[in-house]
Amino acid sequence: MENHIDENEKTSSVFSEAELEYIAPRSHKTGPSLLSRLGNRLRCSGQMAKSLLFKFIPILYWLPRYPFKEWLLGDIISGLSVGIIQLPQGLAYALLAGVPPVFGLYSSFYPVFIYSIFGTSRHISAGTFAVISVMVGSVTESLVPNDTLVVTTNESLSDTGGERVAVAASLTFLVGIFQILLGLVQFGFVVTYLSEPLIRGYTTAAAIHVTVSQIKSIFGVSITQRSHALSLIYTIVEICSKLPQTNIASLITGLIAIGVLFIVKYLNEKYYSKIRIPIPMELITLIVATGISYGVNLNETYGVDIVGTIPVGMKAPVLPRSDLFPKVVGNAFAIAVVVYAFTISLAKMFAAKHGYTVDNNQELIALGLSNFVGGFFSCFTIGTAMSRSLVQESTGGNSQVAGVVSCLVILVIILKAGELFETLPKAILAAVVVVNLKGIFKQFLDIPMLWRTNRIDLLVWLVTFAATILLNLDIGLGVSVAFSIITIIFRTQLPHYSVLGQVSNTDIYRDVARYAQAKEIPGIKIFQSSCTLYFANADLYANAVKSMSGLEVDKLIAMKKKAMKKQKQMEEKNEKLKKKENGLKHRARDQSEKEKEQNSIALKIPAVIEKEIVVDYEVIEEAKQGFLGNGNIFHSLILDLSTVNFLDTVSVKILKNIFRDFTEIDVTVYIAGCHAMVLEQLEKANFFSKTITKGQFFSSIKDAVTHILNTQSLTPEQRNEIFASTKL
């Protein structure tokens, strides 16, 4: 007994290390430090090249260390389950992509196999994916609107039809190239622009596109292909107008299939904990429907559209048609990013759950190689389907071996059993597609959730949804990304400005308008903006400071300017009078009897001037009190810049103006909580001068307040002297 445990322990210990190693070298995020450490370890044995090889071809690393005993059974069961799902999904999504069903089988084989070799996620199921397929479909259908030919034999592919297949393959090839390039230049981060609300709004809209495109198969009507803006609306209108031509047999087939699939899906989810391996109802439906269709001859008797000839055997690789590249390059880039966004979010989810890491850039390269190779074998673009990945994980899949097993299932179908499905009604495939969208449609629940939690993200969701519905999947995506970037501007364009007060007996300062406990400190105004300061809100900031200070700063400055002007005039007059006086004195030397009189004038003038000036400055002080009320006069203004992330030239200028204006009306301005980076930018921008010194900068509001209270009794001039002599 004891022995057995120890043995087990040993095996798993060995693997434990292996497994951890297997995670580590591909963890790009921790990047240089890890690599350099790895390097140090490996350089001695000259195995640097080997570690690079392991990084780019992960299978070389993990396969020799694969714990057959522990994982193989799970992987095989999981692989079979996934393979059985790949078959109907492959056939169905091929219709979404606008190509004959057999290409869905190819797409479920070649690229999936390649992904198993290069991928770093152990639980995602690469393969056909509804959203991507419909994106491909929008390209094939817009470039080849009338490719209604159903391929009948292998040979006819090249000459009679397959134009759409060529488009899809060229597109897939380019998607692969883009992904490989993005991976090599380590640009995986582009995906961060596809924020979660955007992705969810986008997929919800895509699901509606998919559903509408399948309705025609279920109703058995034929619809004009459209790819312009608002095409979804036109298509819905056309479907409604063609409802009288519904093929009843097709509709019944479709509805029954949807009903059955839906119920079994529900049961599978409900009793998942008991049965572990889900009932492969899609496959059963396919087989039963094909059988009935063959028996009753649905196609000829009732005009039900069927899948048609499925060629048996492999196809030789064909070079993607380079003449199509310019037409699909834009879409290829969009699809490349979307595929990656879905894959990486799913991969990260599983990695977090199972405690391993995936390498962002290696994932890009793996997907890229899959699609690149797929492009040679007439595949359409693959991604990762969430539902299938969940099956792969929950049925016990532990590694990419499950993917390889699922490929073998598809290979057998391609080589031997494909033709069995020739009489399968297309309505069944449409049903498979629609039922698989259930999870995506649940995303409509995001709307109330986001309404409660974050309305700007809700706006992103809704705009993305609307743009994708109305402008289709390509332009809609571009518009959505642009919009979600602009929301960052929204969020900083209208900040919340507040005057802070001290929460009694603490060092905490809070908005006085919202916290009753926060009280303003007499003589000090503390001002805070909720957002960073830059050109688009700098003006607002200055105005808010002025208006929330309660002073009509501009008016006070105008009064002061007026007073100064008057002072100057008076001085000039004084000067004139003095000259006159001097002249008089000069004359008076001889006229001593007038001397006394002149003196009295000379004495009088300065008195007049002084009175003049005093009166005017008093007016300003009075005006200040008028604005604020007697008790609220303040002599210090603290600007809390802790929310400021960076400063541009416009905001530096605005800050300078605030210093200038408030200094003009004898209010000293202090800065609190300015971050080191921002301080550096201020230095570079020549912000500091004789009148604005670093002595006015404090690391926290508390420090600034303490300083102000200590120097309160000083005059502004004395304070300025202190600043001039202080250095931070």
| Interface with a copy of itself in residues 170-209 (CB under 8 A) | 189, 192-193, 195-197
516 near a copy of itself, judged by CB under 8 A: no
The CA distance from 222 to 242, in Å, is 9
Tokens 């999981």 belong to 78
Note whether 658 and 542 are within 8 A (CB).
yes
The CA distance from 54 to 34, in Å, is 15
Among 60, 558, 614, 724, binds a copy of itself (CB under 8 A): 558
| 78's tokens | 């999981």
The nearest distance, CB 66 to a copy of itself, in angstroms, is: 17
Kindly tell me which of 389 and 529 has the beta carbon lying closer to a copy of itself.
529
Task: List, in sequence order, the alpha helices (H) in 355-441.
Answer: 360-376, 386-394, 401-412, 426-436, 438-441
Kindly tell me which of 527 and 534 has the beta carbon lying closer to a copy of itself.
534
The CA-based diameter of the chain, rounded to the nearest angstrom, is 143
Among 163, 238, 520, 552, binds a copy of itself (CB under 8 A): 552
- Which of 127, 141, 57 has its CA nearest to residue 97? 141
Instruction: Find all residues with CB under 8 Å of 533, minimum gap 6, and list them.
Output: 541, 641, 644, 647, 651, 654, 655
491 near a copy of itself, judged by CB under 8 A: yes
255 near a copy of itself, judged by CB under 8 A: no
Among 321, 442, 573, 594, binds a copy of itself (CB under 8 A): 573
538 near a copy of itself, judged by CB under 8 A: yes
438 near a copy of itself, judged by CB under 8 A: no
Kindly tell me which of 148 and 453 has the beta carbon lying closer to a copy of itself.
453
Kindly tell me which of 196 and 269 has the beta carbon lying closer to a copy of itself.
196
- Which of 512, 463, 511 has its CA nearest to residue 484? 463
The CA distance from 165 to 150, in Å, is 11
The nearest distance, CB 357 to a copy of itself, in angstroms, is: 5
Kindly tell me which of 234 and 483 has the beta carbon lying closer to a copy of itself.
483
546 near a copy of itself, judged by CB under 8 A: yes
321 near a copy of itself, judged by CB under 8 A: no
Among 41, 69, 270, 562, binds a copy of itself (CB under 8 A): 562
Instruction: Find all residues with CB under 8 Å of 188, minimum gap 6, and list them.
Output: 182, 340, 344, 360, 361, 363, 364
The nearest distance, CB 664 to a copy of itself, in angstroms, is: 9
The nearest distance, CB 334 to a copy of itself, in angstroms, is: 18
Tokens 């390649």 belong to 114
596 near a copy of itself, judged by CB under 8 A: no
Q: Read off φ and ψ for residue 698, nearest 5 degrees.
A: -130, 150
Residues 93-152 that bind a copy of itself (CB under 8 A): none
2 near a copy of itself, judged by CB under 8 A: yes
Selected range binding a copy of itself among 144-152, 264-272, 273-281, 645-653, rule: CB under 8 A: 645-653
33 near a copy of itself, judged by CB under 8 A: yes
- 509: β partners: 502
| 106's tokens | 């190819």
- Which of 667, 266, 217 has its CA nearest to residue 431? 217
For a copy of itself, how many residues bind (rule: CB under 8 A)?
102
The nearest distance, CB 243 to a copy of itself, in angstroms, is: 39
- Which of 65, 55, 52 has its CA nearest to residue 359? 55
Among 156, 394, 599, 642, binds a copy of itself (CB under 8 A): 642
Is 217 exposed, middle or buried, given 0-12, 13-18 or 19+ CB atoms closer than 10 A? buried
718 near a copy of itself, judged by CB under 8 A: no
- Which of 378, 372, 355 has its CA nearest to residue 184? 372
489 near a copy of itself, judged by CB under 8 A: yes
Selected range binding a copy of itself among 172-180, 253-261, 378-386, 636-644, rule: CB under 8 A: 636-644
Exposure b/e, 2-32, CB count within 10 A at least 16 = b: eeeeeeeeeeeeebeebbeebbebbbbeeee
The nearest distance, CB 692 to a copy of itself, in angstroms, is: 15
The nearest distance, CB 75 to a copy of itself, in angstroms, is: 17
40 near a copy of itself, judged by CB under 8 A: no
The nearest distance, CB 603 to a copy of itself, in angstroms, is: 13
Selected range binding a copy of itself among 9-17, 164-172, 232-240, 435-443, rule: CB under 8 A: 9-17
Residues 323-362 that bind a copy of itself (CB under 8 A): 352, 354-357
The CA distance from 453 to 196, in Å, is 14
Selected range binding a copy of itself among 55-63, 173-181, 427-435, 525-533, rule: CB under 8 A: 525-533
Q: What is the DSSP string of 435-495?
A: HHTHHHHGGGGHHHHHHHH-HHHHHHHHHHHHHHHHHHHHHHHHHHHHHHHHHHHHHHHSP
Residues 447-476 that bind a copy of itself (CB under 8 A): 450, 452-454, 456-457
The CA distance from 21 to 203, in Å, is 36
Residues 356-415 that bind a copy of itself (CB under 8 A): 356-357
DSSP state of 413: I
Beta strands (DSSP E) in 123-200 are 126-127
The nearest distance, CB 524 to a copy of itself, in angstroms, is: 18
Kindly tell me which of 356 and 377 has the beta carbon lying closer to a copy of itself.
356
Kindly tell me which of 163 and 612 has the beta carbon lying closer to a copy of itself.
612
The nearest distance, CB 123 to a copy of itself, in angstroms, is: 14
688 near a copy of itself, judged by CB under 8 A: no
Kindly tell me which of 245 and 547 has the beta carbon lying closer to a copy of itself.
547
Handedness of CA 348, 352, 353, 358 (dihedral sign): positive
**What is the DSSP pairing of strand 668-672 with strand 636-640?**
parallel
Kindly tell me which of 60 and 482 has the beta carbon lying closer to a copy of itself.
482
Selected range binding a copy of itself among 83-91, 252-260, 262-270, 507-515, rule: CB under 8 A: 507-515
The CA distance from 218 to 249, in Å, is 9
Residues 655-684 that bind a copy of itself (CB under 8 A): 657, 673, 675-677, 681, 684
Selected range binding a copy of itself among 240-248, 285-293, 330-338, 694-702, rule: CB under 8 A: 694-702
